[in-house]
Amino acid sequence: MLIVQKYGGTSVGDLERIKNVANRVAKTKDAGNDMVVVVSAMSGETNKLIEYAHYFSKTPSKREMDILLSSGERVTASLLAIALQEMGYGAVAMTGRQAGIKTDNSHTFARIESINTDTIKKEIDRGNIVIVAGFQGINENGEVTTLGRGGSDLSAVALAGALGADACEIYSDVDGIYTTDPRIEPKAKKLDFISYDEMLELSSLGAKVLQNRSVELAKKMGVKIVAKSSFSEGEGTIIAQEDESMEAVLVSGIALDKNQARVSLRDVPDKPGIAADIFTKLADEQINVDMIIQNASKEGMTNLGFTVPQSELVRAKKVIENGVDHEIGGADYDEDVCKVSIVGVGMKSHSGIAATAFSVLANSGINIEMISTSEIKISMIVDEKYGELAVRVLHDAYELDK
């Protein structure tokens, strides 16, 4: 089998931990696998370099930031290769460029455009373990680019896809994806399997483990991800396409997003272009709108609600007041809300899931301010102070601890 492993910053946080990673890699190699290992910078390094840059400028040039930040992963990659060589394994370190990773020109947030795997394949054929500095590539002009936060995951998934690897194991300090945040609900259970779509909807649960861009890329390329801890021996969580033959789990997990603020616009004239006008103005100010809800129209007027990140509420308010206030009946704003989401591919065919949620929350005296549903998700905006309680009662109601 060809296995791509990726070790995050905490997993390679110091020299001893890099040694530990070398032992893990060696074990997988000893089991007869071909291996490509992607590494992040040692934890803290990237932040240190960013601080250095901010000593000189609040807005350092992105082109130079890429040369700066790409150095951390190179250090880890070469150290891991040296550790493995000392243990008697053939190992070669490669920069993103040497690994054939070509990106577009968006410095500090580049997208991988193609991977020329010739050099990696040649080294694998020689029996070598290939260690790749994550998070980086070069653009068409040969300039160093980086892939943004979590970019090493992207490197790993893209390499696994390009190489047709059998699995892409993503190691961090968390041993998998849980039904909800264990700090909120101690009975939260680790999932053995979760589909790409569920994982994308649950991103707030898994953000520490995997970012959406990586899951999207894995889905697109059909790469099976295994999220594991480098500090324990558990099986982790498999993130892959749902298996049609299995009966889908009704609910996989409950997510909580506290960084939400609600905007409600009353008596908005129900004519074409008004909603477009509002959201264009918000987009122009680079305000990220999350949920959008519009009720059925009544006497030519409708109510329009949406959520934005709490930090962007003040700016959103200004946009509404200056831009559309005179056209609508009124607006109110609530910073103290949060979003509770129930995620599960099985809910597509089970209408009872939503009913359960609403009655469970009602029984706990939690008022639902907004509701939005997709095929595999139900999201509800509730008072921020009830967020954690909502997670616990829902976790219980769907018996996720079983």
Residues lying near a copy of itself in the complex (CB under 8 A): 15, 18-19, 22, 49, 52-53, 55-57, 60-61, 63-65, 67-68, 70-72, 74-75, 77-79, 81-83, 85-86, 92-95, 97-98, 133, 142-144
CB of 142 to a copy of itself, least distance (A): 7
Q: Determine phi and psi for 93, rounding to 5 degrees.
A: -90, 145
Is 92 or 209 the residue whose CB approaches a copy of itself more closely?
A: 92
CB of 164 to a copy of itself, least distance (A): 24
Is 72 or 151 the residue whose CB approaches a copy of itself more closely?
A: 72
CB of 147 to a copy of itself, least distance (A): 17
Distance CA(91)–CA(82), nearest Å, equals: 8
| CA geometry: angle 27, 70, 5, nearest 5 deg | 20
CB of 284 to a copy of itself, least distance (A): 27
Distance CA(311)–CA(286), nearest Å, equals: 12
Distance CA(50)–CA(60), nearest Å, equals: 9
CB of 92 to a copy of itself, least distance (A): 7
Distance CA(50)–CA(238), nearest Å, equals: 33
Is 74 or 111 the residue whose CB approaches a copy of itself more closely?
A: 74
Q: Which DSSP string do the residues of 245-289 spell out, in sequence order?
A: TSPPPS--EEEEEEEEEEEEEEEEE-STTHHHHHHHHHHHTT---
Q: Determine phi and psi for 380, rounding to 5 degrees.
A: -130, 135
Q: What separation, in Å, do the N-terminal and C-terminal C-alpha atoms of the chain show? A: 34
Q: Are 44 and 57 in contact (CB under 8 A)?
A: no
Is 81 or 115 the residue whose CB approaches a copy of itself more closely?
A: 81
Distance CA(9)–CA(230), nearest Å, equals: 11
Is 119 or 212 the residue whose CB approaches a copy of itself more closely?
A: 119
Is 64 or 104 the residue whose CB approaches a copy of itself more closely?
A: 64
CB of 114 to a copy of itself, least distance (A): 17
CB of 24 to a copy of itself, least distance (A): 15
Q: Where do we find the tokens 């939260």?
A: 188
Is 17 or 339 the residue whose CB approaches a copy of itself more closely?
A: 17
| CA geometry: angle 112, 79, 119, nearest 5 deg | 45
